[in-house]
Amino acid sequence: MTVVSMRDLSHAVGTWVDRAHAGESIVITRNGRPWARLVPELTQTGSDYLDQLVAEGRVTVPTASLADLPEPTSTGSWDGRDSVDVVAELRGESS
């Protein structure tokens, strides 16, 4: 991934935008720290974009299906009250 400072970007905005339009992702830094990202316009389908994110290591593909997850278990501690009421009670507020 290409990195450019805000100062350098401001002197040649058109060049950097053209590079992003051509498919390059550019990290913009401010005071040496990543500040923003200039990326190409998204023209891919959802699955193509997901494939790209996986290839970049930004997301991981699930290893199991939701159907394989165990059923949630009850803690047995819910007394039927709304969480807003419980928080108000803990804060000493009356509802």
**Tens of pLDDT, residues 37-85:** 999 887 767 778 888 889 989 999 888 888 888 888 877 777 888 889 8
Domain that holds residue 44: 1-59
66 assigned to some structural domain: no
Q: DSSP strand E in 1-95: where?
A: 2-5, 26-30, 33-38
For residue 6, pLDDT beyond 80: yes
Query: Which residue in 23, 14, 50 sits closest to 2, CA to CA?
Result: 23
For residue 95, pLDDT beyond 60: no
Residues with Cβ < 8 Å from 34, sequence gap 6 or more?
3, 27, 28
CATH number assigned to the domain comprising residue 39: 3.40.1620.10
Average the pLDDT over 2-21 and give the result: 95
43 assigned to some structural domain: yes
| Predicted local confidence at residue 46, as pLDDT | 72
For residue 34, pLDDT beyond 90: yes
